[in-house]
Chain A
């Protein structure tokens, strides 16, 4: 009982047809001032274990066994009222993944901070106000007096996450749990937040549990690591040992997936074929609706960009959210009309092409595997639909082609009559790719095709895209914020910032010797193991 935190044999089950442990035999030991990282894919139970610690488990969850000792208390003997008063928020704090939804949108930042403080400490408003200001400067938010009066929607994602951290630390907890605190943020912001968390950990002398799906980030933050899969602990130990001498197969594949993505490939010798896409002076503005007494605001989503794509190459567009890369993708696809400039595809203006003609030249693959497929259609119909709409084929021919394409993207013919909700994220993305390639287009536009998938699945999908490119000779335009994905797949790269192209050139040389300030910042934010 001398440990700061010890969890023994924790098992959690959800009632269903038969009771299956979603989390089984979870063990954990943490010293005061210690740090621990929990890594795993989605559904591996990493968050669940921490929710059990903070008593935030969903109502139907059943804790079937296990004990939690924290600061010499057996937590299972403490009743809820006592727990919420003396432990959660006070000694144990948690930072959540979505800074957008974790703050209450109708109260000011200041009020939320002060209330958190006043709930656990018997202090007046003045003192709470003072403490809140102190915390805001601890998380390095400028103009903190102004910030106190602002509402969450007036802050950026990174700023909100800082406020969340301030709120979590205001009661001086001895344990901070960070549940994927940077997943929803841009890479450069991610680095700042992680540095901040590490700094504050030293300053306040807390213990830290850091949950993430990203092995690179976790290895940076924590001394010890737990690797989880399907509710079980696969491997645990010192971070350095686990990463360099993994004992279990799963850890090895996880690490090799990451390393594969990060391998320094030789410079691809790429013959410059004919130009397949030529973009000149492309611009797109968004007008914000004018309010009473204020002039119309115009946002330059894409501002006067020029580039061309050569047949058979893979071109990547990198940039943070809001840099205009997705807008470019939509315009290239003809789904959005540009305000100025033109896009020539095979020497034809994309916006003057007939939709059917366009469909046979250029096809998109979208980011979110959960909204990319119509939930009411079977997989077979989803893949067949481009053919039904565009080609005068007989039903039998279509069926054969669909089965062939299913095979090409690595899916069994048993998926033909399935509905999208029966498929995993990776399988859905495969179906989306199948739908895009069945018309044999010349160009495939992939808008963050892997950013919502787990690392191992991510590698499989990228491998698939690579294979398809070799087999079919498709030109791929890849939009991504993830440097390793870009490195893995593409020959040339464009770096975008605020609607403009900052830097462009060969992938390897551009990313290894960045010339512009922004590209350097982007590259320094990448964590490698």
Chain B
């Protein structure tokens, strides 16, 4: 029994947050160049297989080829129609999801352990024998042109597009879709890219879940032995980052009730030693519900439903971005407040209390992000593609612990210069 009257004004004592313990995977390398990382969680009935391919760009970078390649993967092989692939996968209760990001194209399979032997041969077929039927390509192009038309009615979509174009310029990160670019995709060019890119020597496989011996044997046989490289002289592709001109770009929309705002610019990526500290300052500034931007612009002024910022790490670059949608009548006021917050971040030292809160919050969220074995694989993947290993997370923890008001200010001076950023407003800036 609790005998004392409860004093509800005093917070219960709290404990330090435990450090992250990420499973080290088993790794395999096959003769065909395929690399595999295996994350074990025997109690799970599900398994995830993620085949990740590095993107290659050999023609003009503004094409949508890699996006189309990923979307068209499962639309037919030399022995299966698009419909047959869909039926077989769905019948087994599996999920087969092609994904595309700036740097990678991947094919992810989630399946129940009991169906692995039936479902992996379908994936193997897709990785080796896709034929990209013209009819399916026509459907893809038709539907994507239509959904692009709809997206172009959304201010946040237009703002994001203008932002990427102006921050990255004429390369893969700055490329945005257009109806003409969809029309320019041909079956031949897709096949060419597929033959070049979807090869075991360009693939890393991440397997997580109940990866039993028999599952490993299937992987070894289908993907390690039977999958042959049919393309080898892949060049290391060159990436040129565009210049960023600090400017305000506006796109006036007379009918809009809200304006979409994007502010940001180039930044560092995970390989840079400052990256964890940058993530810290980003979180404090705009990266969570208790951030300065959110507290000021939503919770104090009520100008928006949401405002947030992010520090994003890509293979060849990094960028910082702020995004919000705000009432047209308060768009200028919001821009002013954002600018004020930048100045404050650089000019005044943050309080220790605020730093402690952000640190604990980030440690808690990181701990909570390790939900299942799949998240262990994701964490590993993130550092792997930055050329690092799991010791990065120890370094990350050390940086978190060492953050203090001076360090926050130093990072602010280095990476949070409002005057150098691109500002995009789609809607009305009065």
Question: Do A and B interact?
Answer: no
